[in-house]
Amino acid sequence: MTLGLINANPVVHAKKERVARTEDLHGDDAVDPLEIYDILFLLHPEHPYSLEQLSVLSEESITVDEKLGRILITFTPTIQHCSMATVIGLCLRVKLKHYFPPHFKVDIKVSPGSHANEESVNKQLNDKERVAAALENPNLRQLVDECLYSNEL
Amino acid sequence: MDFSEEGLELKEIQRLEGHNDKVWSLAWNPTSTLLASCSGDKTVRIWQRSPSTSSWHCKAVLEETHTRTVRSCAWSPSGKLLATASFDATTAIWELIGDDFECVSTLEGHENEVKSVSWNASGSLLATCSRDKSVWIWEVQPGNEFECVSVLQGHTQDVKMVQWHPIMDVLFSCSYDNTVKIWAEDGDSDDWHCVQTLGESNNGHTSTVWALSFNPEGDKMVTCSDDLTVKIWDTDSITMQAGEGYAPWKHLCTLSGYHDRTIFSAHWSREGIIATGAADDAIRFFVESKDGLVDGPLYKLMLKKEQAHDMDINSVQWSSGENRLLASASDDGTIKIWELASIT
């Protein structure tokens, strides 16, 4: 898998001022999209900026149906052919894994029209068997872990 | 059998805990009351019911063999061997020797995760399938030796499950490529090849097909999919019973509107009840409709058990011994034993 920078000059947006919120989403607390968004300050695998700054993710891209226990997250890869779209999706899954009550169902998709292989990326990201196998692959797992934890150093 | 007259409910008999990760698959031993389960925790557990207390306990944990998720398990028809398929790209064969299960053989060859394993009716052949898009057929030889006799290419994506026909040596596979493929041997040449593909143009599924199961007579098949439908297929039973070679399968009906999340498992019972397990944590039961209406549905929903588990259900399997006993396996790490019983 090549890790060379494909998008060397991304458009970077100013980071919005954010009020600190607790990260506790467990139990009886209502699931607030804004809280989910706070959690998702991930490092884009190829850039030292957060996903928000690269406009990959914004608050509007998270919808929660609390009654049914369903969450839909849509993200926008920085360029149409972003080869890291599936890795970003995996990072999102791992990051969110323990933040919801176990019965919540999380679907992750690229926002419509934002990726050349939209259907193919969405299908992989929502095939839990494929996701589980990918996360058992040491190389992929390491990449995901680096993306998730390097900005916490 | 007409189920519409009976008031039935699904009673939870016991909840089996022990696995530390998703339980992906279950298999009932055909000759004894053993239940095998396999998991993301890389182990296989063997559960047994105690004759004195009638409660289930874990008899054995098969560990330190597979190095990744164990995705599927299947007992040989004699009940003596257990095959386990793993994301570590191998298939292990286990034998009960004395009081322990020992790994007596390891089948290698697939390029990546093995998703499913199935024995034919006589136990002479084994089939495996993988994300490498291929289906392998292995011949069982004396001394627990397994020889690969065919590598079947044809699917264009990850193959999710393989299942032998209950009577004939015809192999069925279903895939992430949205199709079901049927493989049979050429009369003379011992060459296996694809004899039919059930795809969108045959009223087939429009997304990943996760599982398939046959009715006891072997003339009907149920498939379930990520497209939120369950489909019933049938074949010409006269041709099949006469042993006149392979008869094509055709779509009989589609059950849609009953599931709103992926259906991972479907299993047809000896009495003709189809059980499904889905990503909405529910178990559903479908039976043939006896309404007799001209354009009426052929199959109807008999019962739905919501919140059967706390998370996705990956497998539902009717017991091979008792008619109304069912086991289910879930992402929540547990297995549940159920009885479909009359409402008292």
State the CATH number of the domain containing residue A89: 3.30.300.130
B252/B222 Cα distance (integer angstroms)? 10
Please identify which residue in the block is written with the tokens 């020797």. B97
Each residue's pLDDT, cut to its tens digit, for chain B (344 residues) gives 566 657 899 999 999 999 999 999 999 999 888 999 999 999 999 999 998 998 999 999 999 999 999 999 999 999 999 999 999 999 999 999 988 999 999 999 999 999 999 999 999 999 999 999 999 999 999 999 999 999 999 999 999 999 999 999 999 999 999 999 999 998 777 799 999 999 999 999 999 999 999 999 999 999 999 999 999 999 987 777 666 667 899 999 999 999 999 999 999 999 999 999 999 999 999 999 877 667 766 999 999 999 999 999 999 999 998 889 999 999 999 999 999 999 87
Residues in Cβ contact with B260 at an 8 Å cutoff, skipping those fewer than 6 apart: B228, B280
| Residue-wise pLDDT tens digits, A86-132 | 888 888 888 888 778 888 999 999 888 888 888 999 999 999 999 99
* A133 to B113: CB separation less than 8 angstroms, yes or no: yes
- Give how many domains chain A has, as a whole number: 1
Say which of B131, B208, B310 has its CB closest to residue A133: B131
Using an 8 Å CB-CB cutoff, list chain A residues near B279. 105
Decide if A9 is inside a domain. no
Question: b/e for A62-97, b at 16 or more Cβ within 10 A?
Answer: bebeeeebbbebbbbbbeeebbbbbbbbbbbbbbbe
Query: Domain B8-342 carries which CATH code?
Result: 2.130.10.10
Supply the Cα-derived Rg of chain A in whole angstroms.
Answer: 15
Cα dihedral A69, B231, B176, B196 in deg (nearest 10)? 180
Other Cβ atoms less than 10 A from the Cβ of A60: the count is 10
- Looking at beta carbons, which residues of chain A come within 8 Å of B226? 127
Where exactly are the structural domains of chain B? 8-342
Interface test with A, best of B113, B116, B264, B309 (most A CBs within 10 A): B113
Q: Are B221 and B213 contacting, i.e. CB atoms less than 8 angstroms apart? A: yes
Query: How many Å lie between the alpha carbon of A72 and the closest alpha carbon of chain B?
Result: 13
Q: What strand order describes the sheet that includes B114-119?
A: B114-119, B125-130, B135-141, B145-152
Q: Closest approach of chain A CAs to the CA of B301, in angstroms? A: 22
The answer to whether the Cβ–Cβ distance between B113 and A103 falls below 8 Å is: no
**Which among B153, B315, B340, B152 has a CA at the least distance from the CA of B224?**
B315
Candidates A105, A128, A136; nearest CB to B87: A136
Contact B61, A128 (CB under 8 A): no
Measured between beta carbons, the chain A residues lying within 8 angstroms of B311 are: 102-103
Residue A22, domain member (yes or no): no
Judge whether A123 lies within some domain: yes
User: Which domain, by its residues, includes A112?
Assistant: 33-150
Q: How far apart are the C-alpha atoms of A96 and A90, rounded to whole Å?
A: 10
What phi and psi, each to the nearest 5 degrees, are found at residue B69? -40, 135
Whole-number pLDDT of residue A88: 82
Across the interface, whether the CB atoms of B281 and A103 are under 8 A apart is answered: yes
Residue A59 pLDDT: 53
In degrees and rounded to multiples of 5, residue A129 shows phi and psi of: -70, -40
Q: Which residue has the tokens 């890389």?
A: B42
Chain B touched by A97 (CB under 8 Å): no
- Chain A residues inside the 8 Å CB shell of B278: none
pTM recorded for the entire structure? 0.89
Q: Identify whether the C-beta of residue B274 lies closer than 8 Å to the C-beta of residue B225.
A: no
Q: Do A132 and B312 touch (CB under 8 A)?
A: no
Rounded to the nearest angstrom, the minimum Cα separation between A13 and chain B is 37
Which residues from chain A sit within 8 angstroms of residue B329, using beta carbons?
A: none
A23: in domain: no
Q: Which residues of B touch A105 (CB under 8 A)?
A: 261, 279-280
The C-alpha of B178 sits at a distance from chain A's nearest C-alpha, in angstroms, of 12
Residue A13 lies in a domain: no
- Domain assignment present for residue A69? The answer is yes
